[in-house]
Structures are given as structure tokens and as C-alpha cells.
Structure 1
Amino acid sequence: MKPATLGPDDLLPADRIPPPWPGRSVLLDGSVIHVRDTPATAPDAEPALYVHGLAGSAQNWTDLAGLLAGRLDGQAVDLPGFGHSDPARRYTIGSFADRIVRWIEHSDRGPVHLFGNSLGGAVAVRVAALRPELVRTLTLISPALPFLDFRRSLQGRMLPLLVIPRGERLAAWRLAQLAPELMAQQVLEACIADLTRIGEQRRREALEELRLRHQTEHHAAAYVRTFRGIVSSFLRSYLPGSGSLWRMAAAVRAPTLVIGGRQDRLVDVRVAPQTARVIPDSRLLMLDAGHVAQMELPRTVARAVLGLLDDVAKVRDRG
């Protein structure tokens, strides 16, 4: 592990708020996956794929992907059951990783620069460990790798739903009691350390996303079942066997950037440094931010990604 380096700020586009990405629905293996594209602004840009976290969507990557369009030809997908993608039969880190692998194969863009936030970080680690030929570099932002002290996460209060029969029905009832405006505010407060960093347009988009979720019958079940899958993967990671996410992290060979938020309220703040210690070729950046640093401090995150890309290019040129 070594400290992350920041690329020059003047290599990034001027401050602006990109509009929501144009999205498209693609039929893949019998179900719809929703994809948002950030076309490259340079001819030599390399492919990138962005994977969101629990209850997030592809929109979480709008600002970062826009800033990196001079280097990366970006795509972000809605995981099954979230955003505009169809629901799934299974909501486990393994099943999500399989879906990401299938998308990379289907789009024929691999190997890609793979990005993951929270749940998406755990998914990306699994993809990089099991299918290294598909991953050029790995960027993990507040990755949801295993920790057992759920007092360090606001989501710990969700644990009782996992032992209640048909807990997703109770979750659906609870969600129905909250107005989308109030829920959007609560989500932002849980994920963002400094809400003044989030502009009005992004707030409107978050509200629009939550209104969409209120209209889907599968949203509560997807959330609860995915959270159950995360907790199950955490527990398995401390038992013998090949399914441990920590063992998979140790097997990652792609050059990796790990970014953590010192004010993360959803993932134990000790996880990002531990992830960087476990992954062999890693760089660590800790920010004064919450759970979604790519939304809260997109320019700083983009500069760290430029540092990773430049580091990899130097190694390649020497070789």
C-alpha cells in the first residue's frame, strides 16, 4: 500500500454540473439492464465501468464520469432491482458480480477500468479477483468489505428485518409511510458529510430516483434481500473457505485505488485502509467526506483517478 497521488486539477474540465446521462435499456440474458453512457471526449480514451451501491443507481456517477471523460469512455449500470433495471431472482454479491461480468462480455469493452462504491465495491473486488482479464484498474470508494461491528453503520438498525419472516413486507410498509421528499433528505444525510456540497440539481435527481422506486413493487424486497446478501457475505468472510471477500481482495492483481470517507456513516471507516493493506498493488486516499465521495468531492476523486492512470501508464512505458 502507498499513498494515492493527485493528478493536476487543470487537466480536468472546468466546474460544471453535467445533466443526467441519457439512459438505455438493454435486454441481456432475458432481463433488462439499464445503462448510462458518458462518451469519451478524447480519441484514445479507455473503457470504464461504474457500479453503484445499495439503494443507489447509475446516476451516482454522473459528476465523476463527466470529469474523467477526457481519459475514460464511461458506462454505468443499474444493478438488478435498482434504478431502471429489472428485478432479479437472487440478490447476492456473487449474483451481482456475475451480472457485471456478463455485461462486460456482452458489451465487448473489456478489459475495463472498474469502479465500485459501497456494495459496488464489494462486487468489483469479486470481479477483479475471479476474472482478472476483464479489469485494467480497480477504484473502490467506501467499499462494503466485511466488518462485524454494525454499531459503526446506520444500516445496523436494519438487522432485525433479516430475522423477521417476510421482512421485505415490513420494509415496504415503512417506506410507504415516508414521503419521497423526506426519504431523499434522509438518504442524502446518511451518505453525505457536508450537504452544502450537493447542488439543487443533484437533490432533484435524488428525489426523482426515489419517486421511481416508490412506483416499483420490487424495490423493498430488492433492498432487504440485498442487505441480507451483504450481511451473509460478511459472516462468510470470517469462516474458512474460498468465498471470503477478504481472501478475494488479497487475490486482486489489478492496480487499485481505495478511497475512504472519514465521516462515512454506513461503512466502518477502518474498512478502506484495511482494503488497501490487503490488496497488493494499492493506493489509499482518505477524504473528509461521507459514503459517496464521488458525489461529494468529485474533482478530488477524479484527480486521484488521474494519479492512478498516470502511475499505471508509467509502469507500462517502463515495461
Structure 2
Amino acid sequence: MVYMQHWGRGDQRALLLHCSLASSDAWRGVAGHLADDLSMSGIDFPGHGRSRDWDRQGDYHAVCRDAAVGALEEPVHLIGHSLGATVALRLAVERPELVRALVLIEPVFFAAAKGLDAYAVFEEAVAPFAEAIEAGRNEDAARMFTDLWGTGAAWQDLPAALRQSFVDRIGLIPATEGALYHDNAGVVADGKIEAITCPVLLIEGDQSPAIINAINGALAERLPDATRVSIKGAGHMVPITHAKEVAQAIGGFLNL
């Protein structure tokens, strides 16, 4: 079962796709600011939130793609953050008839930045995380992951239940490596990004890891109709920490 919730009452429809280790609840702030202008739905990816656990069958990124497709009954504005942004991008490549406009917030499609200096720096920075996962040190891995990609709160200051949920789900992160690092679905292969005809908004926080700026720059160079927005003072979790600014960027992009 894939859990879904809904917000808003606008004439235009949007599907919201969350980041790793989170749930559709992460969109409440953004959705609240857009409620007068958009009718929005958000899903919990398998293994997240109130959806059932992932059965570890198949490729996890493809499983998330299928969950998103299952939530679509008509073409919508597709809005994704982090992992959700990579699923949204994949849908725009594979199922363009379902996407009216695309909003990619901090997309972690690392394969798009391969060969750039920022990728080499990032690869070195995340090596300790990979070592912790390999050694089964899940709490250390979860702490390192949230230190890099979290809201900026220190690990020890997070509620105990939240810390435990990160530890319990940290195995979902390496499950996405085939898609995000190695592009096993060919999403960023030559010609695929260039074929996306819908308008695309790329959002990042100006305090995010440098790899995000590199990814958005690489995507913007290849997309026929791309707009970039940087949110001042924001990091990777910008839809949560700067919900109003993100909603304003989306609203302006969609002419709401």
C-alpha cells in the first residue's frame, strides 16, 4: 500500500514527491502556502512514512517511479525534492505525457555531475558514509547522512524517535545508488534530458553542498526550457526550512 494525502483547492493539480528518509508530511509547509492555487497530492514512497515497507524486490528507484505513476490519473505539475526530484526527472524522461511542468528541488542525480570537480570532492566526502554502511554501523551512517543532508540540527538534538527512524531506514540510501550514481535507467544519458519539452524549475539552497549547484548547472545546460532559483540562507532541506520562499518560487514559475 502506498499512502497518499491531499492539500489545496486550486484548479491546477500537482504531485509532490519527498526526499529520502522523510514522508509526504515534509510538504505541509509548502502546500499550505500554495493551497489557494493548487490541488496537491503527496505520496509516501515504499519504506517511508505510512506506506508499507519495501520488500527489497526490484530496483528501488524504479519502485519509487512506479509508486508515483500509480498516483497519477492525469497530467500534473510534478514537484520533487532530493530523491523525489530524481524520480520526477525520471518520469519526465520516461512518461512525458504525464508531466505538465517540472519542479526539481535539490535533485541528487549525482550521475549528471560526473566528470566535474564538484563530483570528485563530493565522492571523497561521502566515502566515510559508504564505509559505515559496509561495516553495518547504521547509526554512524545515519548521523553522517543527516549531518550532510539534514536541516542543520545536530544529531544529538534530534528527537530520539526521529533518530531511530533514520537508523532503521538508512539502508534505503545505498539502494538508490544504481540510479543516482550510475544512471542504471539511462535518465541522464545523451539526448534524454534534451528531449524534455515541459518547462522546468530548478531550486537549490545557497548553503547546500556544492554538488547540488553542479547538478543543477549540468541539468540547466541540457534542458530546453529551464529556470534556476537559489534560496538565500537555505540548505538541502529548503522545502522545510524555507517553505514560504519555495512556494513563492513555484507559484511564480507556474503563474499561479
TM-score, structure 1 normalization: 0.66
C-alpha contact (below 8 Å) 2:149/2:237 kept by paired residues: no
Whole-Å separation in 2 of the counterparts to 1:95 and 1:263: 31
Query: Offset of 1:111 from its aligned partner?
Result: 0.9
Q: In the alignment, what sits opposite 2:236?
A: 291
- Which of 225, 245, 255 is the matching residue for 2:188? 245
Q: Residues 38 and 156 of structure 1: is their aligned pair in 2 closer, same or farther, counting only changes over 3 Å? A: farther
Give the Cα–Cα distance (whole angstroms) in 2 for the partners of residues 155 and 83 of structure 1.
25
Structure 2 Cα separation of the partners of residues 278 and 207 of structure 1: 43
The equivalent of 1:100 in structure 2 is 68
Residue 121 (structure 1) shift: 1.0
Within the candidate set 19, 24, 31, 1:58 is matched to: 24
1:116, 1:73 → 2: CA distance? Answer: 15
* Displacement of 1:99: 2.0
In structure 2, list runs of 5 or more residues that go unmatched.
none
User: CA offsets, 1:143-188, max 9 Å, x none?
Assistant: 11223425337544323367x4xx6xx144647xx8xxxx5x9837
Deviations 1:216-275 (A, max 9, x none): 6xx24323323x334xx42347xxxx7142543222211111112221138432111222
Q: Secondary structure at the match of 1:269?
A: helix
How many residue pairs are counted as aligned between the two chains? 242
* CA distance in structure 2 between the aligned counterparts of 1:207 and 1:308, rounded to whole angstroms: 38
Change (3 A) 1:286 1:92: same
1:116 paired with 2:116, answer no
CA contact (8 A) 1:52 1:58 kept: yes
Equivalent residue for 1:222, pick from 172, 197, 202 = 172
Deviation of residue 213 (structure 1)?
5.4
Per the alignment, residue 81 of structure 1 pairs with: 47
Of the candidates 78, 85, 90, which is equivalent to residue 58 of structure 2? 90
State the partner residue of 2:206.
Answer: 262
Are the counterparts in 1 of residues 2 and 67 from structure 2 also a CA contact under 8 Å?
A: no
Rounded to whole Å, the distance in 1 between the matches of 2:247 and 2:198 is 18
Q: In 1, are the aligned partners of 2:76 and 2:99 still within 8 Å (CA)?
A: yes
RMSD between superposed Cα atoms in Å: 3.0
Residues 151-300 of structure 1: pairs in structure 2 closer than 5 A: 151-152=121-122, 155-160=126-131, 164=134, 170-172=136-138, 174=140, 187=146, 190-192=149-151, 209-212=162-165, 219-226=169-176, 228-230=177-179, 233-236=180-183, 243-245=186-188, 247=190, 248-265=192-209, 267-288=211-232, 289-300=234-245
Structure 1 or 2, whichever has the larger Rg, is: 1
- Distance change (3 Å), C-alpha of 1:224 and 1:234: closer
Percent of aligned positions that are identical: 24
Letter in 1 for 2:173: Y
Runs of 5+ unmatched residues, structure 1: 1-31, 196-202, 314-319
Cα 1:274–1:75 change in 2 (3 A) is same
Inter-partner Cα distance in structure 2 for 1:306 and 1:83: 27
Aligned equivalents of 1:173 and 1:284: distance in 2? 35
The 8 Å contact of residues 111 and 134 in structure 1, kept in 2 or not, is answered as yes
Normalised by the length of structure 2, the TM-score is 0.80
CA distance in 1, matches of 2:223, 2:49: 30
